[in-house]
Amino acid sequence: EKIGFVYGVEVSVNRSPVTGRVYVTPISKRWRYKEALSGSRMVHLICGGNSGGGLMHKLREQGFGVSAGVINVLDSDHETAQSLDIPVVSEAPFSSISESSMRQNDQLIQGADVIVVSNLFFGEGNLANLRSALRAVEEGKEVILLSTDPIFSRDFSSGKATELYSHLMAKGALEVRNLDELVQKIGEQN
> For each successive 10 residues of the chain (190 residues), what is the average pLDDT?
69 73 64 57 97 94 94 95 94 94 97 98 97 98 97 98 98 97 86
The domains of the chain, with CATH numbers, are 1-32 (no CATH), 33-188 (3.40.50.450)
Q: Report how far residue 185's alpha carbon sits from residue 182's, in angstroms, rounded to the nearest whole number.
A: 5
Q: What's the pLDDT at 33?
A: 54
DSSP the chain: -HHHHHHS--EEEEE-TTT--EEEEE--TT--PPPPPTTPPEEEEE--TTSSHHHHHHHHHTT-EEEEEEEETTSHHHHHHHHTT--EEEE-TT-PPPHHHHHHHHHHHHT-SEEEE-S--EEGGGHHHHHHHHHHHHTT-EEEEE-SS-GGGGEESTTHHHHHHHHHHHTT-EEESSHHHHHHHHHHT-
Q: What's the pLDDT at 19?
A: 81
- Asked if residues 85 and 60 have their Cβ atoms less than 8 Å apart, the reply is no
Q: What's the pLDDT at 42?
A: 96
Q: What's the pLDDT at 21?
A: 84
Q: What's the pLDDT at 167?
A: 98
pTM of the model as a whole: 0.84
Report in angstroms the alpha-carbon separations of 121 from 31, 154, 162, 186. 29, 5, 11, 23
